[in-house]
Amino acid sequence: MNSIDDFDSTNHDQMIIDCFLKLWNHSADLMFIMAVEPNGEFSLFDNNPASREVMGLSKDAQVRRMNIRETWGDEIVEGLYSSYRAAIAAREPISMTQYATSGGKAVYVDTLLVPIFDSLDNPIFICGVSRDISRIKEAEQVALKANEKLLEYSAALETINQDLDRKVQERTKELESAKRAVEESLEAKSSFVARMSHEIRTPINAVIGLSHLSLKTSLNAEQQDCMNKILASGEVLLSLVNDVLDFSKIEAGKMNIETVPFSPRLIVQHAINMNTIKAQEKKLALTVDISASLPPMLLGDPLRIQQILVNLVTNAVKFTEHGGVCVRVYSDTNNGQGVLLRCDVIDTGIGISKTDIKQLFQSFQQADDSITRVFGGTGLGLTISRQLCDIMGGDIWVNSEIGHGSTFSFTLPLNIPSSSSLSIDPTLTEENSTPNLSQYNLLLAEDNLINQKVILGYLDDTSINVDVVGNGEDAINKLDSKNYDIVFMDIQMPIMDGLTATRHIRSSCVYGNIPIIAMTAHVSEDAKKQSAQAGMNAHLDKPIKKFDLYKTLQKHLHAEIQDNFLKMNDFFVSNQDSSHVEVLSKMSSIDTLDITGAVSNLGGKTSLYLDLITAFYNKYKVFTLDGCLESNVVDIIHSLKSNSAYIGAFDLSRYCSELERNIQNNIISSKLLERLVQTVNKLVYELGQVLMPYASLINSDEEEWVFCANELASKLEVIVPLLKKSDFFVENHFSLLRKMVRGTKYALDVEHLISDIKDVEFEVAAIKASQLIFELQGN
């Protein structure tokens, strides 16, 4: 046999047999032949050496029809026999996994069984090949056990994760709860500060505003000095309120920083101007050293930078008794796009110890914090200055020694504005100028008579035409009947507040686009946001500054800056002096009034005092116990306390303060209120006896008025709805009504009308006004 091609079929079969015998003898697989016995049993006809080794037999052992029960035992053998019978029943090869033991060790095999049949189709042999898969089975068992462990670990890990998630959720809830508590605390604190700021700003508005107006009148040197001191005190108080509010804003993260073009020289000049008088009083030298290389314009927040500088200069003047204060401004670096602005405030004052320097920038801290300290202040100024520097990306520090003065320095990174962004508002250069707005009509919605007088005093200089209403509902009625160019709207008013009124106005298709300016002592960002959401165009903070008022008017009226600004008109009219003196002389007989003290508090402004006392008379001429009990008695007493103080009824004001304290302590009775009502009614009766004969003189005006029947009819049409609602704010129209009919046949009709209103005969007055309208219209 030299070639495969030489094989015939016999040789081919023999080759297969030879090959099979070789495999039989050398294969690691277990090969066996089971004989089918007549009794249904099976015997081992033969098996290969590998199979014999598993059975514990010698490789050379002769196996002929061996009974395997003697080797494996009945239980295993029955399992093997069952597989053999399955192969016979299948009449074709089958595969299966079998189990046996060898030497006490489990053996798993993957077996192929092939049934052999004789010519009569009777089974005679079962040939089989088994491959030991014990190690695979062991691996499977290991894998199964590992999988079981993995499942156990996974379950444990899941439990741990769930427990961790639960703890995280619980901790998160605790943190959220703590965060809410902190936020609520901060919100409550901010709300409290905002409310207190509002309550304090309202009287400050009167103090500063009326002081400004009083300084425009004819005052002697002593009166002018007093008014300047009142004004300065009001501004100091306002500064303290602003410090507290700024501190609250910064602490709540609500401090907004602007980026606008500004002149650093003007900021320095403003800081110097604010401290000039105090420095002169102490005979201190105030000097300024501004580097020539400092850019003329920078980009930043001028208000906040000015606030820092003013605070440092004010402190330097306050704590320096001899020598002077120098403000030095320069830039540390300049790369062509930005500068590191540096300001040094150098004084020759008392100096600060190293121990005190460490706590100097902390809240409510001063170098001298003892009860006997000489210098006043809240200790917030430097804290706010540091926080402002931090917000603007800068730094602030101090170098000082006791007895050798101090140098406070701060740096701020600022940019240089491009030429296109240098659009400076021309009104900023005209702080002392008053715009001529005589061609415009303004509607003022303000329920506080004092605030009305302050704003009207400012507006009077502009010659703008003003109508006054006391609530939002009347403001809407006014807009329905007359064209206006702008509305000044207080937020808190009776009947309808300013926000609600603004929303109604914005829904109108006729006047919905009119500029509406909010006026309120609420100066928080939330209050401004509410105003903007309601549809207001701008927000004027009380106390309102004249310059801010004029600037707002010019911006929203688009009024051009004119060269011929109006000169300030005197609020005090000289030809009224004699009538005022006569009225005040008669009024001095009322022993419960300290007229001298009241007029002194108003800077000697008798015309304003008479306005206030007339307003007091009109407000409280119908004052009953039932009215107090039906309304909010706390608000009534609170309002009466300040109103009575304005007119010099100081005993009444003190009694109101006592009632307020009693109410706070839940100690109040109808007897105490009855005494209050009797006191007020007695005072009102005495005021009426003096005021009524002089009503026309008190409310006279030297300005001439050209009579127009249609204008008078239109004015009466405006007040008829107020009369029908018995609204006391109709009294705001008396002055204009008298002015419109002065010297005409209708003057007496108007006086009768005013008299009926003062007698609270609103229905009679409404009928007379309607009749007069018909007469004027000729219908």
CA Rg, the chain, in Å? 51
Question: Encoding tokens for residue 327?
Answer: 């403000």
Phi-psi region of 121 (alpha: psi -120 to 50; beta: other; left: phi over 0): left
Residue 230 has pLDDT above 80, yes or no: yes
Residue 336 has pLDDT above 70, yes or no: no
Residue 562: its pLDDT value, please?
43
Mean local confidence (pLDDT), 436-462: 84
Residue in the structure block whose two tokens are 């005979």: 283
Residue 609 has pLDDT above 80, yes or no: no
Mean local confidence (pLDDT), 758-762: 74
Contact 670, 633 (CB under 8 A): no
What architecture is the 4-132 domain classified under in CATH? Answer: 2-Layer Sandwich (3.30)
Residue 375 has pLDDT above 70, yes or no: no
Average per-residue pLDDT for the chain:
78
Residue 752 has pLDDT above 80, yes or no: no
Question: Using the 8-state DSSP alphabet, how is residue 491 labeled?
Answer: S
Fold classification of 259-422 is: Heat Shock Protein 90 (3.30.565)
In this predicted model, what pLDDT tens digit does every residue of 657-678 receive, in sequence order?
Answer: 888 888 888 877 778 888 888 8
Distance between CA atoms of residues 102 and 590, nearest Å:
132
Annotated domain spans of the chain: 4-132, 139-246, 259-422, 428-557, 572-697, 703-779
Residue 568 has pLDDT above 60, yes or no: no
Residue in the structure block whose two tokens are 């309202």: 202
Point out which residues pair with 325 in neighbouring strands: 286, 347
Residue 379: its pLDDT value, please?
61
Least confident stretch, 52-61, 172-181, 357-366, 573-582: 573-582
In this predicted model, what pLDDT tens digit does every residue of 136-146 receive, in sequence order?
Answer: 888 888 888 88
Mean local confidence (pLDDT), 133-137: 83
Point out which residues pair with 412 in neighbouring strands: 341
Taking residue 109's Cβ as centre, other Cβ atoms within 10 Å add up to 21
Mean local confidence (pLDDT), 749-759: 73
Residue 247: its pLDDT value, please?
62
Q: What is the pTM of this model?
A: 0.37
Residue 344 has pLDDT above 90, yes or no: yes
Residue 571 has pLDDT above 50, yes or no: no
Fold classification of 428-557 is: Rossmann fold (3.40.50)
Least confident stretch, 39-48, 505-514, 619-628, 658-667: 619-628
Return the higher-pLDDT residue of 251 and 155: 155
Residue 363 has pLDDT above 90, yes or no: no
Mean local confidence (pLDDT), 292-303: 85
Kindly state the helix (H) or strand (E) to which residue 325 belongs, with its residue range.
strand 324-334
Phi, psi of 762 (to 5 degrees): -65, -40
Contacts of 23 (CB under 8 A, 6+ apart): 31
| CATH number for the domain formed by residue range(s) 572-697 | 1.20.120
DSSP string for residues in 556-578: HHTPPP-SSPPPPPPSS-GGGHH
Distance between CA atoms of residues 327 and 579, nearest Å:
53
Return the higher-pLDDT residue of 241 and 504: 504
Work out the widest C-alpha separation in the chain, in whole angstroms: 160
Fold classification of 139-246 is: Helix Hairpins (1.10.287)
Distance between CA atoms of residues 104 and 141, nearest Å:
18
Residue 433: its pLDDT value, please?
60
Distance between CA atoms of residues 682 and 619, nearest Å:
14
In this predicted model, what pLDDT tens digit does every residue of 261-290 receive, in sequence order?
Answer: 888 888 898 888 878 878 888 888 888 888
Which residue stretches of 379-524 are H helix? 381-391, 449-460, 472-481, 498-506
pLDDT over 90, % of the chain: 13
